[in-house]
Amino acid sequence: MKKIRQHLGWKLFLSYLIVILIGVFSLAVTAEWHAPSALSRHMSSMQTMMGDIDSGMMQDLLGDFRTAINEVLLVSAGLAMLTAVIVSTFVTRRIVRPIQEMTTVSQRIANGHYDERVAVSGEDELAALGISFNRMAHQLEQTEERRRQLIGDVAHELRTPLSSIKSVMEGLQDGVLPAEPETFASVEREVNRLQRIVRDLEELSRAEAGELPMEMRPVNPADFVQTAVDRLRLQYEDKNVRLTEDIPPDLPLVEADTARMTQVMLNLLGNALQYTPSGEQVSVLARADGQQISIVVQDTGIGLTAEQQRHIFERFYRVDKSRARTGGGSGIGLTISKHIVEAHNGRLIVSSPGPNQGSTFTVILPVIQDGAI
Ligand SMILES: Nc1ncnc2c1ncn2[C@@H]1O[C@H](COP(=O)(O)OP(=O)(O)OP(=O)(O)O)[C@@H](O)[C@H]1O
Ligand SMILES: [Mg+2]
């Protein structure tokens, strides 16, 4: 009984057996009930041809007929059972094999072999199950890959400031470095950097989980664009990068978290400043376009290749790692910005004609429809 409960093959065989038994049983019952009347009906035509058949003879005939039917039923039941064994073996192999393979592969995946896949053949439901199983395995493999990458990236990001703090400390202890404000200031810079990385990481993990708190309300996009522009104006002047703005005051309202959208604009304008050489320019403009508004930050800076544009929103992605070291960027800003914009049902797009030809970042947000508030 346990064997039957545990094996699909046995269950299939049993189901065939039940069907055969029901068939044989119903045939036997029908023959038993129906045989006398059918036989006498058929015999009546013979009677007219051959003269009267007496009732004793009729009884004999009926008995023989029954025996013959039972014999035939017995033989055909045996044959049917044999066929059931053959068919169930074949069907079992066809159905159970892929399921057993999936069980084995899923156990291997659970043990960390994320590259395992099942072989898929045919087009039936089992093949569909195999395809979706493989798709799930692929997703798991990618998630695992991203997790590994994230841990590696975080370790790498933390290592640099930590080792420079450590070397300053050792220098101080050995008396190689003087205990001067400049020495402490350099440690403070690295600590600030560490703090920033940790804060960005916290924010990133919340953004990726879709858990960044947002306080949505109807706002004029000019508000947060202007706030960011005002906050960075001095830094632009310091670096001698011209910042031009074209932001109509009467833009349609959007549903947004002002602080978060300011954060996005600060990142885009901060990047544009960082990657644009002195003497060049950055422009920011906003346009209403049907059901959406576009906020465009365009610079004449170092630009991006098509490959760089493909990766630019990935976390920790920096085009020039050594430049980012000194510039202080950790490559998380755009990832968070994209999450924020998408949480506003908007899009953040990059475009650039190529290296040294400037870059353009466009934020697209849906406007509030009439009567929506
Ligand atoms: N306007 C731009 N022109 C050229 N390259 C850019 C521009 N904006 C971003 N990049 C590239 O994209 C990378 C990722 O930008 P992102 O804002 O995510 O990180 P970051 O500025 O390096 O650091 P942070 O996390 O502090 O923002 C940058 O390191 C830079 O290489
Ligand atoms: Mg940035």
Tens digits of per-residue pLDDT, 73-131? 888 888 888 888 888 888 888 888 888 899 999 999 999 899 999 988 888 888 899 99
CB 348 within 8 A of CB 363: yes
Are the C-beta atoms of 232 and 269 separated by less than 8 Å?
yes
Of 321 and 216, more confident: 216
365 contacts 293 by C-beta, under 8 angstroms = yes
Question: Model confidence over 305-325: pLDDT tens digits?
Answer: 999 999 999 888 888 765 444
CA angle 18, 24, 30 (to 5 degrees): 130
Model confidence pLDDT, tens digit, residues 7-62: 777 888 888 888 888 888 888 888 778 777 777 777 777 666 666 667 777 778 77
Burial 307-341 (b: 16+ CB within 10 A, else e): ebbeebbebbbbbeeeebeeeebbbbbbbbbbbbb
So what's the pLDDT on residue 324? Answer: 47
Backbone angles phi and psi of 286, in degrees to 5: -130, 140
CA distance 166 to 184: 12
For 213, list phi and psi in degrees, rounded to 5. Answer: -65, 130
- Residue 219: strand pairing partners: 254
pLDDT at residue 171 is higher than 90 = yes
Most confidently predicted of 72-86, 150-164, 339-353: 339-353
Query: Six-digit token pair at 305?
Result: 């290749």
pLDDT band at 349 (very low <50, low <70, confident <90, very high): very high
CB 282 within 8 A of CB 272: yes
State pLDDT tens for residues 186-210: 999 999 989 988 998 899 889 988 8
Q: Which amino acid is at 26?
A: S
Residue in 154, 196, 271 to alter for ligand 1 test, most ligand atoms within 8 A of Cβ: 271
Considering the chain, what percentage of its residues have pLDDT values greater than 90? 48
Residue 182 tokens read as: 């400049």
Q: Which domains does the chain have, with CATH numbers?
A: 2-113 (no CATH), 126-208 (1.10.287.130), 217-366 (3.30.565.10)
Q: What's the gap in Å between 59 CA and the centre of ligand 2?
A: 103
Task: Identify the CA nearest to 223 among candidates 264, 270, 258, 254.
Answer: 258
pLDDT in tens, 248-298: 989 999 999 999 999 999 999 999 999 999 999 999 999 998 899 999 999
Alpha-carbon distance 281 to 356, whole Å? 13
Ligand 1: list residues with CB < 6 Å: 200, 267, 271-272, 275, 299, 301-302, 304, 312, 317-320, 324, 329-335, 359
Look up the pTM and report it: 0.68
